[in-house]
Amino acid sequence: MRLLEAQEAIKQSPAPESPVLDVQLACGITPLHFSTFLQAHLRQDFPSHRIAINSGVFGDLPGNLERLGSVVNSFVVALIEWQDLDPRLGIRSLGGWSPRQLPEIIRTVRDQAARISAALESLSSKNRVAVSFPTLTLPPISFTPGFLFSRFECDLRSIMASFSSRLSEFPEIRQVNSQHIDQISPLSSRLDVKSEFNTGFPYSLTHADKLADLIAKLLREQLPKKGLITDLDDTFWLGILGEVNPEGVSWDLDHHAQKHGLYQQFLSSLAESGTLIAVASKNDPALIEEAFRVRKPLLARDKIFPLEANWGPKSASVKKILEIWNVGADSVVFVDDSAMDLAEVGSACPGIECVLFPKEDDKATLQLLYNLRNQFGKTSISAEDEIRLGSIRSSRAVAQVTQSAGYTPERFLREAEGKITISFTKVPPDPRVLELINKTNQFNLNGKRHTDSSWRQYLNDPDTFLMVASYEDRFGPLGKIAVVAGQSQAGTLNIHQWVMSCRAFSRRIEHGCLLSLFQKFDAQEAIFDFATTPRNGPTQEFFAQLLGKAPQAIFSLSRQQFVKNSPVIFLHIQESSGE
């Protein structure tokens, strides 16, 4: 983005009554164009918000951070440059570069780093924090030649590494990946000496833009893709299985097939971090099973679900996989070495991202893995990530049971041994809750979404309650699958948010949740902040069953009505402390 484009983007601000996204920009430099670029990138990421960027005083990063002590539910951005740790490490100071001063500079840097770290740690308990460590080159301060890694510079880097490592322990602190900024903004073109001398703004426009873009990415809640569907022949492994048989396919250096090995290794890592992996292949299923059994690829067979192998069009397999996963095509990436199959799938499954496996290009394959990492990356691995595949398998098992002879919903639910565990804990905020609110479409009371900051604000209101339900039955655990948020006043519940994962449908968990709420708050009535959305049909059906008619915007349901119209709930319901 150019500076002119950034300024014009900022001018397209939403209406004055739009919610404000407060960003506290803490830095020691003049924020100038960085602030402009940051605002412009945040405008793209939060189009319905007005962006307000507040910055502190020049040359005092630690003080600026400490003065933010009372800030809550905000985004805090800390731009650290060498001169913030000791002004002599910048080019605006004439404090001396004498070899005798170097040990003292190291001590100052260590002290300032500790001070900045303490301020950031404290701010992270109530805000989301993004941190950028020094991106500019050190001045020619040491007495050694520039190509020699001096003891002085080694000590500085060591302090920064410890500092960064400590901050990484705090989940709300997100750091710019130095390797990534190195890739997109060459070190030699980051510093604008003239601008630094004239205005105290040291960044070239290009570097300011790239860094601001990364910081904006760190602040927004990026929802990773949920699943990857891969082809096998000449993609997952080198070779056509039907032609060379299991012993003929390869994925190692010896067979010039290392890129396929790296791809498998990468998929295995994705699978273990909760990404769904499936196979869509034009192949003989028995031969594939044999290949996995005999050759043992780096991605184990049990990490793949489902494996669709047949001679029909790939799009049919992909559609079936999406149905089993119960996810939208726009949450999925399809990887194949055939441009024709990619085009066929892309046209049959709008929204799916189709990516060519560059089987002839080693370098491009590595770049593909970097790109996929950005699409599937997440800030942490949750308990839900660890059980996702298991719960989808169990949903499939449930679906098969419901299609079997002699099935009745009553009998199935009675024998399922379903158990929901309810928690009313609001603090600390559980990222899974916000994820459910922002991702769930079908069972969603009104489709309202939250930013991290607006959600924290909601939870901080002492009058609000939050109910989170986890579910498990004899088919396995589904994890945290439902969230209800609202207020309870004088026997009346005001329900503001209610979402439930579609994986939890058909178990009467929604009935169990409502029953629990009536009981917990001894309420006789519930008022729902309901709104019809294009995708919340299941929610409408649920309420229509209880009300005897289609729900209207904001409606009331009495406990008596609920008890009268609710089907039998075959669930064991228990309350936990929320841990």
Partner 1 sequence: MRCFAAVFSEPSEQKIATNRLDTLAGWDSVAAATLVSTIEEEFETELDLDALGTHPSFQSILEYLTKESDA
Q: Which residues bind partner 1 (CB under 8 A)?
A: 2-4, 7-8, 11, 32-33, 36, 194-195, 198-199, 201, 205
Q: Which of 441, 459, 437 is nearest to 449 (CA)?
A: 437
Q: Which is nearer to partner 1, 7 or 164 (CB)?
A: 7
Q: Which is nearer to partner 1, 149 or 197 (CB)?
A: 197
Q: Which is nearer to partner 1, 8 or 302 (CB)?
A: 8
| Helix 285-295, helix 241-248: angle, nearest 10 | 20
Q: Is 441 strand, coil or helix?
A: coil
Residue 136 CB, nearest approach to partner 1 (Å) = 18
**35 CB-near residues (< 8 Å, 6+ apart):** 25, 53, 55
Q: What's the CA gap between 232 and 243, in Å, rounded?
A: 13
Residue 194 CB, nearest approach to partner 1 (Å) = 8
Q: Which is nearer to partner 1, 24 or 195 (CB)?
A: 195
Q: Which of 215, 116, 95 is nearest to 159 (CA)?
A: 116
Residue 53 CB, nearest approach to partner 1 (Å) = 13
Q: What's the CA gap between 287 and 298, in Å, rounded?
A: 18
- Cβ-defined contacts of 489-492 (< 8 Å, 24+): 489/463, 491/521, 491/522, 491/523, 491/524, 491/525, 492/523, 492/524, 492/525, 492/526, 492/527
Q: Which is nearer to partner 1, 206 or 460 (CB)?
A: 206
Q: Which is nearer to partner 1, 33 or 88 (CB)?
A: 33
Q: What's the CA gap between 194 and 198, in Å, rounded?
A: 6
Residue 14 CB, nearest approach to partner 1 (Å) = 16
Q: Which is nearer to partner 1, 55 or 470 (CB)?
A: 55
Pairing of strands 20-27, 75-79: parallel
Residue 4 CB, nearest approach to partner 1 (Å) = 5
What is the full DSSP assignment across 453-490?
A: HHHHHHHHSTTEEEEEEEEEETTEEEEEEEEEEEEEET
Helix (H) or strand (E) holding 248: helix 241-248
Residue 217 CB, nearest approach to partner 1 (Å) = 23
Residue 21 CB, nearest approach to partner 1 (Å) = 20
Give me Rg for the CA atoms of the chain.
28
